[in-house]
Amino acid sequence: MINVWIGLGLLGQLLFFCRFLVQWIVSEKRGESVIPIHFWYLSLAGSFLLLSYAIYRQDPVFILGQSMGAFVYIRNLILIYRKRKRLSSGKGQDFVTQGDPGLPAAGKWPHRSV
């Protein structure tokens, strides 16, 4: 049974590593630093697996560290989907371009990060 838990812990660590790898590859392809949505899903999955492992190990420091991150990952996913919904419904511009004549109009950026 211990080998299963170690496997889950290692898988959680692998997912956490993959989130940075995905972010790096996407940023290199776009020529700018971006955080793709896959980063947040990998963060959430890795966090869940590591939290499960931490609970099994009964490590309060590890449990606290992994449980707090999940709130951030979920909140970022909610914000991304709200923005997508707002932009697809035509109910508003991208907040970055509102009221700033020095910036291009919404949708005119060469690369979108969402």
**In tens digits, what is the pLDDT along the chain, a chain of 114 residues?**
678 999 999 999 999 999 999 999 999 999 999 999 999 999 999 999 999 999 999 999 999 988 888 899 999 999 999 999 998 887 755 554 443 334 344 444 445 554
Whole-model pTM: value is 0.73
Residue 20 sits at the vertex; the CA angle it makes with 14 and 24, to the nearest 5 degrees, is: 140
- Residue 51's CB: how many other CB atoms inside 10 A? 20
Q: Is residue 111 within 8 Å of residue 30, measured between CB atoms?
A: yes
Coil vs helix vs strand at 91: coil
